[in-house]
């Protein structure tokens, strides 16, 4: 028996709430630009063609005209056309792509700088290092080769870590 009660409650509760909100009074009038305005707020006293469309009238209705201040926003812009929306979308895509490219370039520069610094540190450590010769065999670096590689690595650090 409780499932029927729950079903009836679930069915009629939203209908009751919807009917209460439908009782709000609606007004229609023409504004100073000649456009028809439909609102639940009463029209100003200077509105042309004022009429109540329906609903229950509120107990207190203020018909005073609100004073305009300097910081009130101007009339809303006209809705954007599909072409304008498409152009805005493409512009946002291009900006996002440029931002991602810039971040990737900065990340690559940081990585190159870090590798160059590690190379300099390795070459300065005086640990035995080897290179591969033309036949692919390992050959220990002598001090002249080490100094030459160290100089080249330092120049790269100077260029990459600006």
Q: Is residue 130 part of a domain?
A: yes
| pTM, 2 dp | 0.42
Q: Total structural domains in the chain?
A: 2
Closest CA to 156 of 100, 97, 116, 114: 116
Q: Summarize pLDDT for 40-51 with one digit per residue, the tens.
A: 778 887 777 767
Residues 90 and 140 in one domain: yes
pLDDT digits (tens, 9 = 90+) for 94-131: 999 999 999 999 999 999 999 999 999 998 988 888 88
Q: Looking at beta carbons, which pairs linking 100-109 to residues 24 or more positions away fall under 8 Å?
A: 109/160
Residue 11 lies in a domain: yes
Residue 140 lies in a domain: yes
Question: Where in the sequence is the domain holding 144, given as residue range(s)?
Answer: 82-160
Reduce the DSSP state of residue 24 to 3 states and report it: strand
| Backbone region of residue 34 per phi and psi (left: phi > 0; alpha: psi in -120 to 50; beta: other values) | left
Residue 64 covered by a domain: no
Query: Are 101 and 139 members of one domain?
Result: yes
């Amino acid at each position: 028996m409780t499932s029927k009660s729950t079903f009836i409650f679930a069915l009629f509760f939203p209908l009751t709430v919807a009917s209460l909100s439908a009782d709000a009074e609606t007004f229609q009038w023409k504004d100073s630009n000649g456009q028809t305005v439909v609102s639940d707020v009463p029209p100003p006293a200077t509105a042309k063609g004022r009429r109540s469309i329906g609903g229950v009238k509120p107990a207190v209705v203020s018909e005073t005209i609100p004073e305009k201040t300097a910081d009130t926003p101007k009339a809303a812009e006209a809705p954007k056309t599909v072409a304008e929306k498409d152009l805005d979308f493409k512009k946002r895509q291009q900006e996002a792509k440029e931002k991602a490219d810039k971040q990737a370039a900065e990340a690559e520069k940081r990585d190159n700088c870090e590798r160059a610094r590690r190379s300099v540190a390795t070459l300065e450590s005086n640990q035995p290092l080897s290179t591969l010769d033309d036949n692919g065999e390992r050959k220990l670096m002598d001090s002249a080769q080490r100094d030459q590689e160290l100089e080249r690595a330092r120049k790269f650090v100077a260029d990459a870590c600006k």
